[in-house]
Structure 1
Amino acid sequence: MADPSETPPEGANLHAPVARLLRPLVRLFVARGITFPALTTLLRELYVNVAEYDFSLPGKEQTDSRVSLLTGIHRKEVSRLRGAGAPVSVVPSAVSRTSRIIARWLADPRFTDVNGQPLPLARIGEGDAPSFEALVAAVTRDLRPRAVLDQWLDRGLVVPDAEGRIVLTEAAYVPKGGDESHLYYFGRNLHDHIAASVANITGPTPRFLERAVHYDGLSRDLAERLEARAREIAMEALQQANREAHAACETDPGGSHRWNFGLYVYAEDVPPAAAKA
């Protein structure tokens, strides 16, 4: 019988890219106190879950023996871990409300200028005039606009200008490191990026757009200039996609599908030894 710890030839060529993929995650795990035994417990549960739900055969009941064969995990452990249900990433209510309000501020023509930039908003508007109160009310009636404003001022998402209007700050685009919203989007965005890449590898033809522009051997000055320019281009693309998606949603009947359009920019100083590895 084959050693279950051995990787078949078709999987061996994944070792190097997977090691590179996992390295920054392992760095995060060590920094946040997720030990190797804790990670193996999580991976064991995920292996069983994926084999149970994603590799079932049409018209056949998935068995402990088959899950054990697929995963290399002992059948008794499989029996204990099965039935937990597929993991569901629930959007924290505060994250959902904040993102929806900001998305509308950036997309709704009532709250943007002729160039598509978010307008400074009076706290309370008169009639149909755009206001922060009207913005919040357009998204949810469950929250008092004043409570939202106080929270956003405290988090630095908005600031008052010289005329007392509410101005959206750059901090609103990027969650603070380690807070609830940042951790939620960390999991969501990495999941979708990796899922798109995996679908392109496992499918007969690439299904999703997943590309990058990259240059090596640059000076620090050029790398920093390219990073700054890439941020500008990325934000323009994201805002345009948000405006078009918002407009399309106004007449969409709704359904069970979701869509994500993401961008990333990364730069680092690579030591010569690492560059040759």
Structure 2
Amino acid sequence: MSGDAPCSPDPAKLHAPLARLLRPLVRLLIRSGITFPMLSELLRELYVNVAEYDFVLPGKEQTDSRVSLLTGIHRKEVRRLRGAGAPVNAVPATVSQTSRILACWLADPDFTGPDGRPLPLPRMAEPSQPSFERLVASVTRDVRPRAVLDEWLDRKLVVLDDEDRAVLAEAAYVPRGGEDQQLYYLGRNLHDHIAAAVANVEAQSPPFLERAVHYDGLTKELAEQLQRRSRDVAMEALHTLNREAHAASDKAPPGQWRWNFGVYVYSEEVVPPSTPATSTDTNDKDSRT
């Protein structure tokens, strides 16, 4: 990443993309009962927190006055809020544990077949043979494999086949709506996508890959066909990189960096607010979000 100073855009030019960015989040907040005053208090804390820690001048103490100047928040409020702010790096224990076990099942050659797919696993087996007990023990000794299996059966992350083997279900890839795992990744994945886009806006030479392919003027059937196909392509890419990262990280010494590769697929009907929906003969494609 370049060491050049960030080149921030004109504030007025941010209004439209910011409104579009926040609209689905505001919809979620309203549906979840989070009112504007509640969001306003959270934003006030975050403004102070970000100004306090991310905008420190080299060799100078960050003062209430400077934080107030940067944020537009009164010094009395700054003084009250300094040191506050919502944590952004806390990972729920169940999320971390589940993700690590799933990643191992999807990537480790001991638990995958020749085609790279996760093997059905007997509950227990000989020490040299793959089993669900061995899978869990390879990741953590803090929980009993039977407890993990019972939880995953209840959450429908696995099913038992006719031979009483645990089979990874499609549901393992898609957390249920509103559960802790899904809400954690809502924050993590959106944070990383936005952070990459912001870094690219501020840098003279964009340091992160952040691209999309999009077509407008499609029929519903074609949009659904492309959604299914893109899902297959995306999952193959995720499986491939998970296997490579798992193998590489097993051999590398521990460090302080993290890496995230994500994909998303979205489609919707676009109806102009003041005109009826009409078909179009043209498609619009771009490789940039």
TM-score (norm 2): 0.90
Partners in 2 of 1:92 and 1:48 — Cα distance?
Answer: 25
Change (3 A) 1:206 1:160: same
Rate the CA distance shift 1:13–1:275 in 2: closer, same or farther, 3 A.
farther
Whole-angstrom CA distance in 2 between matches of 1:86 and 1:95: 19
Query: Are 1:105 and 2:90 counterparts?
Result: no
One-letter code of the match for 1:206? P
Greater CA drift, 112-121 or 87-96? 87-96
Deviations 1:109-151 (Å, cap 9, x if unpaired)? 0100111100011111123111111101100111111111111
- For the residues of structure 1 that align with 2:34 and 2:273, how far apart are their CA atoms? 29
Q: Give how far 1:273 is off.
A: 3.1
Partner of 1:166: 166
CA spacing shift, 1:217–1:115, aligned 2, 3 Å: same
* Cα pair distance change 1:108/1:30, threshold 3 Å: same
Are the structure 2 counterparts of residues 201 and 74 from structure 1 closer, same or farther at C-alpha, using a change threshold of 3 Å? Answer: same
Q: Which runs of 5+ in 1 are unaligned?
A: 1-7
Equivalent pair of 1:106/1:117 in contact (CA under 8 Å): yes
Equivalent residue, structure 1, for 2:55:
55
- Name the one with the larger strand percent: 2
Q: Distance in 1 between matches of 2:109 and 2:202?
A: 41
Q: Corresponding residue for 1:3?
A: none
Number of the residue aligned with 1:135: 135
Report what 1:33 is aligned to: 33
Give the aligned CA root-mean-square deviation in angstroms: 1.7
1:202 equivalent to 2:202? Answer yes
Following superposition, the deviation at residue 76 of structure 1 comes to 1.3
State yes or no: 1:215 paired with 2:180: no
CA distance in 1 between partners of 2:51 and 2:129 (Å)? 55
Q: What amino acid maps onto 1:92 in structure 2?
A: P
Note the C-alpha offset of 1:233: 0.4
Alpha-carbon displacement from aligned partner over 1:202-229 (angstroms, at most 9, x marks no partner): 1222011100010000000000000000
| Whole-angstrom distance in 2 between the partners of 1:187 and 1:96 | 14
Question: Which one-letter code corresponds to 1:241 in the other structure?
Answer: L
Structure 1 runs of 4+ aligned residues shifted over 2 Å read 83-89, 272-276
Q: Which has the higher contact order (CA 8 A, sep 6+)?
A: 2
> Helix, strand or coil for the counterpart of 1:214?
strand
CA deviation profile, 1:180-215 (whole Å, cap 9, x unmatched) = 111111111110110111111112220111000100
Q: What SS does structure 1 have at the residue aligned with 2:218?
A: coil
Change in 2 beyond 3 A, CA 1:275/1:176:
farther
TM-score under structure 1 length normalisation: 0.94
Which has the higher mean CA deviation after the structures are superposed, 263-272 or 79-88? 79-88
Q: Once structures 1 and 2 are overlaid, which stretch shifts more, 256-265 or 72-81?
A: 72-81
Query: How many angstroms apart in 2 are the aligned matches of 1:199 and 1:175?
Result: 29
Provide the C-alpha distance between the structure 1 equivalents of 2:40 and 2:122, rounded to a whole number of angstroms: 52
Shift of 1:88: 3.8
Aligned residues: 269
The yes-or-no answer on 1:155 pairing with 2:167 is no
Does the aligned pair in 2 maintain the 1:53–1:86 contact within 8 Å? no
Q: Point out where structure 2 has 5 or more consecutive residues left out of the alignment.
A: 1-7, 277-289
Give distance in 2, aligned partners of 1:65 and 1:158: 55
2:45·2:85 contact (CA, 8 Å) conserved in 1? no
The equivalences for 1:74-113 within 5 A come to: 74-84=74-84, 87-113=87-113
User: Letter of the aligned partner of 1:57 in structure 2?
Assistant: L
> In the superposition, relative to structure 1, how do residues 160 and 55 fare at CA in structure 2: closer, same or farther (>3 Å)?
same
Give, in angstroms, the shift of residue 66 of structure 1.
Answer: 1.1
Task: Give 1:89 shift.
Answer: 2.6
